[in-house]
Amino acid sequence: MAASRTKTKELLQSAGLAATKQRIALMAELQSARKPVSADMLTERLDGVLNMTTVYRALDQLVSARLVRRIDLGKNHALFELAAHHHHHIVCTTCGRVEDISECMPPTLTSRVLAKATKFAAVEDHALEFFGLCKKCV
Ligand SMILES: [Zn+2]
Ligand SMILES: [Zn+2]
Ligand SMILES: [Zn+2]
């Protein structure tokens, strides 16, 4: 636990963010969740440590610093997870279940995107989610 706290501090600092207690608590909560969680769930888990406004503000900063990934599920609903490993998601449109897909898209896709884009010179990252029905909801 102490080791992971130090690592979190270093991550924050190398991203140019102050290693505040709030940010560290949020990162620790995301790590212990082991699956993408909503801002509401985080606020609930951090009850008494961080209020809703602080959670949203800290999440925004962590997403901008690319330490946390935001998974947009549409309908004003988003989930958050640590951005440590690049991966994709498949989301059930009925119950909201999310599964990680560790395989990435073929690199040829990046060159195709660059070929189509007229005002961009480089692709640095991408996000891609798949939507469908889980086995329980079929
Ligand atoms: Zn489902
Ligand atoms: Zn994930
Ligand atoms: Zn990918």
What is the Å distance from ligand 1's center to 136 Cα?
Answer: 5
What is the Å distance from ligand 3's center to 129 Cα?
Answer: 10
Mean pLDDT, residues 9-26 taken together? 92
| Residue 1 confidence class, pLDDT cut points 50, 70, 90 | very low
> What is residue 128's predicted lDDT score, i.e. its pLDDT?
84
Distance of CA 90 to the CA centre of its chain: 14
User: For residues 70 and 63, is the Cβ–Cβ distance under 8 A?
Assistant: yes
| Residue 105 confidence class, pLDDT cut points 50, 70, 90 | confident
Ligand number, closest to the Cα atom of 97: 1
Tokens for 68, please give them. Answer: 């946390």
Ligand number, closest to the Cα atom of 92: 1
Mean confidence (pLDDT) of the chain = 88
Neighbours of 45 (CB within 10 A): 17
What is the Å distance from ligand 1's center to 130 Cα?
Answer: 13
What is the Å distance from ligand 1's center to 42 Cα?
Answer: 22
Between 2 and 127, name the one with better pLDDT. 127
